[in-house]
Amino acid sequence: MADIRYLQEYLKEKDHSAQVKDYFLKLTEEVGELGRAIRMDLPHSVGEDIKGTIDEEIWDVIYYALVIANCYGIDMEQAIRLKEAYNKQRFHSSVAYDPPER
């Protein structure tokens, strides 16, 4: 299973040639495609093509969000920890964010 840090490093090698605004436009496009897939209730089924499914579109949204984070040099694993600590304090959640150490 890939973790966030691995995905960010993978995407740094794979996709690093566009400007942030172009990645943001792709992200918004993918969010629209995800909305369409959800509206049409199109989850991926084993043995079927993934194209146009909720599964594919969620990955596309995550992909462009991580590429944008890379453009700004953001370590998303650290950002997630910081944001979850803030949310726990703000919303008084009893659920702790405690990922395993690597």
Closest CA to 15 of 89, 87, 68, 94: 68
Mean pLDDT rounded to a whole number for the chain: 93
What is the pLDDT at residue 1?
59
What ranges in the chain are assigned the alpha helix state H?
Answer: 4-14, 20-39, 54-71, 76-91
Coil vs helix vs strand at 46: coil
| DSSP label at residue 63 | H
Query: In this predicted model, what pLDDT tens digit does every residue of 40-49 receive, in sequence order?
Result: 999 999 999 9
Query: In this predicted model, what pLDDT tens digit does every residue of 8-23 receive, in sequence order?
Result: 999 999 998 999 999 9
Residue 93 above 70 pLDDT?
yes
